[in-house]
Amino acid sequence: MAFKFDKEATLTNEQLAGELAKLTPLTMAEINDLLPSQVDKQRFQQLLDIVGSSAAENNKVAQLTQNIGEVGGVVVRLLGSYLKLA
């Protein structure tokens, strides 16, 4: 024999409706008011790409500058040879 107490549960909810209402979480309006507004994802990605691209460009310049610094000795030796031959 299996009992069914659905009606008793419904009756209980009706009897305690006031207290049940207090247990519900925040409304979506309240949540959205509390959370920071969402950024425009497309614009944000564009900005990231632009800044990332500039950083990559700077790194290339730094690499080139470093390479030139390393071959600087060769340049001066070439210069010396040129002067000696002249």
Partner 1 sequence: MRYLSPLAVCALTLAVAACTTAPKQTVELADVVGQQIAQMQASHEKFVRLYYKGLRQDVDEFMQQKWTPQFLDNVVSGQSEGGKEFRDSLDRAYRLANVDWKSAVKIEGIEDPEVRKAAEQVIAQLAIRERGQLGQVLLDFATEAQKQINQQRQKLIQPIDAQEAYVLDRLREGYAQLQAGSAAIKGYLASVANVAEQRDAVLQKMGVLEAERKAVSTAINVDDKAMEALNSGKTAKDGVESFLKQLSTLRDQIKQ
Q: Which string of x and - marks every residue 64-83 that binds partner 1 (by CB under 8 A)?
A: xxx-xx-xxx-xx-xxx-xx
Coil, strand or helix at 24: coil
- Nearest approach, Cβ of residue 3 and partner 1 (Å): 4
For position 42 contacting partner 1 by CB under 8 A, the verdict is no
Neighbours of 28 (CB within 10 A): 8
- Nearest approach, Cβ of residue 45 and partner 1 (Å): 9
Pick the binder of partner 1 from 17, 21, 36, 43 (CB under 8 A): 36
Proportion of the chain in helix, strand, coil states, percent, rounded to 5: 80, 0, 20
For position 46 contacting partner 1 by CB under 8 A, the verdict is no
For position 52 contacting partner 1 by CB under 8 A, the verdict is yes
Residue 26 neighbours by CB under 8 Å, 6+ apart: 34
Q: How far apart are CA 86 and CA 80, in angstroms?
A: 10
For position 20 contacting partner 1 by CB under 8 A, the verdict is yes
